[in-house]
Amino acid sequence: MTSKPKRDTKAKAKSKPQRPKPEPPPHDPIWQQSAWRSRTRQRLLDWFSANHRVLPWRSDPQPYHVWISEIMLQQTQVATVIPYYERFLKQFPTVAALASADESTLLSHWEGLGYYRRARSMHAAAKQICEQHDAIFPTTFDDVINLPGIGRYTAGAVLSISQGQAYPVLEGNTQRVYSRWVAMQGVLSEKPTLDLLWQIAAAMLPKQNRTDNDAANQRGPGIFNQAAMELGALVCTPRSPNCDQCPVRAGCCARKLGIQETIPGKVKKIQYEDRTEFAFVIANRDQSQFLVRPIPAGERWAGLWDFPRLTTGEIENESVAATHLHETLSTPISVGDPLMSMKHAVTKYRIRLNVFKATVATRATRQWKPPAPWKFATLTELDELPMSVTGRKIVKELSKGH
């Protein structure tokens, strides 16, 4: 009697169905034509040669200089950045100088630019360059992109502009320019749109000869990237683009269709929440010093200094705020007259900041000492401490009465 073959009792592994690759957004594939790319590239470079702005980081495009400028230009306009850039390089002329600076000094030179995480990331990157690259800014993509605070765009900008290396650049201006060139009707925050824009940005780069791998090549990748960004900043603007003055208008698909003002697709706007916060100016007995503290890691504006401030947004009035501050300082706080009120925005919040004068309400005021790391500081000392924009406005208001 023959035995039946044993059945395989192991369940067959079910293969997971692969998700279909997202389709790119609707656009004109004209960018795939080498003749179109060549004409567009030449016209753009000719325009840039005659119309580029004279900017301090363009006169000596060392990797360190380009890096500093690119980080500062994130979320900040060129006109604002120029004086900060010049002061910053004077104080920190080299990677080593930046790495050895204490954080307070660094943040004081960044004060007013906002987004202070950028400065702290630069500090960490400078230290890493000193440890791993002998204080010389690296010039390979892998080394640069592994630095804190540097992504694909910044790495490409630094290496193309300072070294002439063929890396594309995709930021706000070039996203808009390339989207209009090919009439791309996609939302910039969506991955298929960004993937296609990176392909276009790479395809548009000038081809290099062996002798072209340097920043001095006036028609190389670095100059092209700067030209595309310049076009977006000066001509192909978000609203009311000046198409009549555009050097590449003849080949722009969005202009031909009359849809340039609707491209790129709108990113969903931030839904702001309104909240009220309170700050107190607590002076010492003779009104010559004011209570401040360094903001610890994890809190808003970490590394800066600030007056006593309640930022939860859930406090009803100044009396309740003073009660919370009493718990922090282990002494009762007496609220005085209002000093000022201001509006500002932080991430998703629209904030009304109400600032009050206050005193330490205790008979032992003369002997009371603030718990560390709080301290009393004179107006002169406050001028030297790094502060947020709102903190600096409070100092300015206090200075009017002294």
Domain ranges of the chain: 29-262, 273-399
The single residue of 23, 70, 384, 397 carrying the catalytic annotation is: 70
Report the alpha-carbon distance of residue 200 to residue 195 in Å, rounded: 9
Residue 70 bears catalytic tag: yes
Q: Strands, DSSP E only, in 239-380?
A: 273-282, 290-294, 305-306, 309-310, 333-346, 349-360, 375-377
Q: Determine the CATH number of domain 273-399.
A: 3.90.79.10
The sign one gets for the Cα dihedral 366, 369, 374, 377 is positive
Q: What is the DSSP string of 94-118?
A: SHHHHHHS-HHHHHHHHTTS--THH
Report the alpha-carbon distance of residue 111 to residue 395 in Å, rounded: 14
List Cβ neighbours of 323 (8 Å cut-off, separation of 6 or more): 333
User: Which CATH entry fits the domain spanning 29-262: 1.10.8.350, 1.10.340.30, 3.40.50.2300, 3.10.20.440?
Assistant: 1.10.340.30
Q: Number of helices and strands (H, E) in the chain?
A: 16, 7
pLDDT on residue 43: 97
Could you count the other beta carbons within 10 Å of the beta carbon of residue 42? 14
pLDDT on residue 270: 76
Residue 388 Cα to chain centre, angstroms: 16
Torsion of CA 269, 270, 276, 281, to 10 degrees: -110
pLDDT on residue 217: 60
pLDDT on residue 364: 53
Report the alpha-carbon distance of residue 131 to residue 129 in Å, rounded: 5
Exposure string (b/e) for 110-130, b if CB count within 10 Å is 16 or more? bbebbebebbbbbbebbbbbb
pLDDT on residue 15: 55
From first to last of the 402 residues of the chain, give the pLDDT tens digit.
445 555 554 444 455 566 667 778 889 999 999 999 999 999 999 999 999 999 999 999 999 999 999 999 998 999 999 999 999 999 999 999 999 999 999 999 999 998 899 999 999 999 999 999 999 999 999 999 999 999 999 999 999 999 999 999 999 999 999 999 999 988 888 899 999 999 999 999 998 644 444 555 678 999 999 999 999 999 999 999 999 999 999 999 999 999 999 998 776 777 888 999 999 999 988 889 999 999 998 888 888 999 999 887 778 788 888 888 888 888 888 899 999 999 998 888 999 999 999 988 766 556 778 889 999 999 999 999 999 999 999 999 999 876
CB neighbour class for 175 (10 Å; exposed up to 12, middle 13-18, buried from 19): buried
pLDDT on residue 1: 46
The residue type at 132? Q
Domains 29-262 and 273-399 share a fold: no
